[in-house]
Structure formats: structure tokens, C-alpha cells
Amino acid sequence: MESSASVNASVNELQNYLPVGIMLLVALLFATGALLFQWMTSQKGRRNAAKDSAYECGVPTEFPAHAKFSVKFYLVAMLFILFDLEVVFMYPWAVIFKKMLVTGPAILCSMASFVGLLLVGYLYAWKKGAFDWK
């Protein structure tokens, strides 16, 4: 049988999670309410030809509104983000490098392994032709 002290301790620990539980409950109620409101106010089955026709100038469109982009643009954007984050991680390291150098070469080895790993990724992307615009 557990003592009352351990039961009180476990109740106190559970009370620490009470605000998180309340916040989760409020978030779920808000999301459910928003979905329910949208479902109740949506215009299902109220479509007709007049509502679906072009409104601006009355001229029907000749081509899709969204132009298709090559996947190369997305690939270059993802590679830019990847190597841009490398610089974001390297800047704080460069700022404290001189101060931390007295602790030993561990700080240099950690950044060298980080840059080496990113260099492997860069070489892999280059080999796969990610930088070719053919």
C-alpha cells in the first residue's frame, strides 16, 4: 500500500500538467467549433452556371491561372535553405571559437565534422546533377 505522502507527491506532479491539459482542451474545442461553424455555413449544393461564370470583365480564361514551375527551382531553393542554415550554425561557432580554443581541439573537430558532412551532401547533389540547368 502506498503511503499518503507518495500519493500527495504524485497528485502534485499531475497538477503541474493541468495548465497544459486545459490549453489542449481549449485548442481542441476551438478547432472543433471552427470546423462545425464552417460546415453549418457552407454553401453545399447552391451552385449554378451564373455563379460559376467569370465575373471580371466577363471574359473566360484562356489558360490556367497558375503557371507550372520546373522542379529544379524547388530543388535549388531547398539546397539554398540547407546551405544557408549551415552558415547560421557556423556564425555562433566562429564568434566563440577564439575563447573556446583553450579547451582543446574538440570545438574545431566538431565543426570540421559538421562541414565535412555538409560537403558530402553538396558533392552528392552535384553528382546527381542538382546544379545543372538542362
Q: Give residue limits of the domains in the chain.
A: 4-52, 71-127
pLDDT score for 29: 98
pLDDT score for 5: 64
Tens of pLDDT, residues 24-70: 999 999 999 999 999 888 876 666 776 666 666 666 667 777 777 77
Helix and strand counts by DSSP (H, E) for the chain: 5, 0
**Lookup: cell for 54:** 467569370
**Lookup: cell for 69:** 514551375
Is 80 exceeded by the pLDDT of residue 10? Answer: no
Tens of pLDDT, residues 92-131: 888 888 888 777 778 888 888 989 998 998 899 889 888 8
pLDDT score for 74: 84
pTM to 2 decimals? 0.45
pLDDT score for 26: 97
User: What is the maximal distance between C-alpha atoms in the chain?
Assistant: 81
Q: Report the distance separating Cα 63 and Cα 25, nearest Å.
A: 46
- Half-sphere exposure of residue 91: CA atoms within 13 angstroms, side-chain side: 6
